[in-house]
Structure 1
Amino acid sequence: MRIGNIIALTAGLFLAACVTENAVTGRSQFITIPPSQDAALGLEAMNEVKKTADVKTTGPAAQRVKRIGARIAAISDKPDMPWEFVVIEEDVLNAWALPGGKIAVYQKMVDSFTDDNELAAVMGHEIAHAILRHGAEQMSRAQAQNLAIVGVGAAVGATTKDGEMAQMAVTLGALAAQGFVQLPHSRAMELEADDIGTLYMARAGYDPRAAVRLWQKMKSMKDGASQPAFLSTHPSDDKRIARINAKMATYMAEFKNN
Structure 2
Amino acid sequence: MMMVKRFALVGIMAWLAAACVTTNEVTGRSQFITIPPAQDDALGLEAMNQVKSEAPVRTTGPDARRVQRIGARIAAISDRPDFNWEFVVIDEPVLNAWALPGGKVAIYKKMVDTFPEDDMLAAVIGHEIAHAVLRHGAEQVSRGQLTNTVLAAAGLAVGAATGDGQSTQLAMTLGTLAAQGFVMLPHGRAMELEADHVGTIYMAKAGYDPRRAVDLWRRMQTMKDGNGGPPAFLSTHPTDDKRIARLEANMPDYLAVYAPR
TM-score, length of structure 1 as denominator length: 0.98
Aligned to 1:255: 258
Say which SS state the counterpart of residue 86 (structure 1) adopts: strand
Cα distance between partner residues in 2 of 1:54 and 1:179: 34
Aligned to 2:153: 151
Say which SS state the counterpart of residue 29 (structure 1) adopts: strand
Say which SS state the counterpart of residue 80 (structure 1) adopts: coil
Aligned to 1:245: 248
Cα distance between partner residues in 2 of 1:87 and 1:166: 45
**Amino acid across the alignment from 2:167:** M
- % of aligned pairs identical? 66
Q: Indicate if the aligned counterparts of 1:4 and 1:152 stay in contact, CA closer than 8 A.
A: no
**Amino acid across the alignment from 2:30:** S
Deviation at 1:4, TM superposition (A): 2.3
Cα distance between partner residues in 2 of 1:35 and 1:106: 27
Q: Indicate if the aligned counterparts of 2:64 and 2:89 stay in contact, CA closer than 8 A.
A: yes
**Amino acid across the alignment from 1:47:** N
Q: Indicate if the aligned counterparts of 2:123 and 2:200 stay in contact, CA closer than 8 A.
A: yes
Decide which moves more: 190-199 or 7-16: 7-16
Matched, 1:128 2:98: no
Residue among 229, 234, 259 paired with 1:231: 234
Aligned to 2:214: 212
Aligned to 2:113: 111
Residue among 175, 194, 197 paired with 2:196: 194
Where does structure 1 differ by over 2 angstroms across 4 or more consecutive aligned residues? Answer: none
**Amino acid across the alignment from 1:56:** R
Aligned to 1:75: 77
Deviation at 1:7, TM superposition (A): 1.6
Deviation at 1:167, TM superposition (A): 1.1
Cα distance between partner residues in 2 of 1:127 and 1:91: 22
Say which SS state the counterpart of residue 234 (structure 1) adopts: coil
**Amino acid across the alignment from 1:87:** V
Residue among 9, 13, 16 paired with 1:14: 16
Render the CA deviation track for 1:19-62: whole Å, top value 9, x for unaligned. 00000000000000000000000000000000110000000000
Aligned to 2:87: 85
Residue among 40, 43, 51 paired with 2:42: 40
Deviation at 1:257, TM superposition (A): 7.7
Unaligned ranges ≥5, structure 2? none
Cα distance between partner residues in 1 of 2:160 and 2:254: 55
Unaligned ranges ≥5, structure 1? none
Task: Note the aligned Cα RMSD (angstroms).
Answer: 1.0
Q: Indicate if the aligned counterparts of 2:123 and 2:199 stay in contact, CA closer than 8 A.
A: yes
Render the CA deviation track for 1:172-219: whole Å, top value 9, x for unaligned. 111100010000000000000000000000000000000000000111
